[in-house]
Amino acid sequence: MQTRFLTFLKKTLTATMLLRVFLIVTCPLLIVSCKKGDTGPAGAAGTAGPTGTANVIYSTWFTPATYTKETIFGTYGFKYDKATTDITQKILDSGTVITFGKLNGYNPVIWPTDQIAQLPISLTYLSGTDANIDTWSALLSLGNLEIRLVSSLNAYGSISNAHQFRYIIIPGGTKSTVASVKPGEVSAKSSPLGDQMNASINEVRQNYAQMSYSEICQRLGVPQ
């Protein structure tokens, strides 16, 4: 009887020890397993991107159908008035308006096809045996952009309607609402790259006279 009791006790102790060993080995594994699938704590909120302060307004290319001829002190002038509400008093006071010309009405020898340059543009070429100077300029007034050509020799009775023009305005916070020219608007507001955009805008505003058309468009994000 005593022998049987000792055998039973021995088996019970052995089972108990094995259970303890099993629990010691298994519990850490269960803990590791549970932690592996847990969702970590939420990270700190990111810093909002800088807010831009300048908008860039641009027109599509427009082609004057006809020009008005006028004579000032004996010199012919041809002009075309482009009405646009983009040119406000604020723009006249503090904005930057850059006007570009694509003068495809000339012989390509004088002006290569689809070449683009900022106005004012001066072209010197022979008209017969005499040197003629054509000067294209852009004049601003409230609600209007005037495209003007003056020939030093009064060489023209009319102007080709193949010439094209467009403008880019840097006003600092104004959107275009002129549907007639299908304007576009590029803004640095609410953009993660707002500070870089504003830096480009300021650089163009200060140095546009030394920049090419493609460079200005690229820096301002304006489609060409």
Task: With respect to residue 50, please indicate whether it lies within any of the assigned structural domains.
Answer: no
Residues 6+ apart with CB under 8 A from 189: 51, 52, 53, 55
Task: With respect to residue 35, please indicate whether it lies within any of the assigned structural domains.
Answer: no
Give the pLDDT confidence score for residue 197 in this predicted structure. 55
Residues 145 and 64 sit within 8 Å (Cβ to Cβ): no
Task: With respect to residue 208, please indicate whether it lies within any of the assigned structural domains.
Answer: yes
The helix (run of H) or strand (run of E) holding residue 22 is helix 2-37
Q: Domain of residue 65: give its range.
A: 55-220
Task: With respect to residue 47, please indicate whether it lies within any of the assigned structural domains.
Answer: no
Task: With respect to residue 2, please indicate whether it lies within any of the assigned structural domains.
Answer: no
Mean pLDDT of 5-15: 44
Task: Please calculate the CA angle 79-83-86 and round it to the nearest 5 degrees.
Answer: 130
pLDDT exceeds cutoff 60 at 77: yes
pTM for the predicted model, two decimal places: 0.67
Residues 6+ apart with CB under 8 A from 84: 59, 143, 144, 145, 167, 178, 181
Q: Which residue has the tokens 């009887």?
A: 1
pLDDT exceeds cutoff 90 at 68: yes
Q: How far apart are CA 118 and CA 210, in angstroms?
A: 10
pLDDT band at 178 (very low <50, low <70, confident <90, very high): low
Mean pLDDT of 81-96: 94
Task: With respect to residue 90, please indicate whether it lies within any of the assigned structural domains.
Answer: yes
The count of domains in the chain is 1
Q: What is the pLDDT of residues 160-176, one digit of tens each?
A: 999 999 999 998 644 44
Q: What is the pLDDT of residues 107-130, one digit of tens each?
A: 999 999 999 999 999 999 998 899
Closest CA to 103 of 88, 89, 117, 93: 117
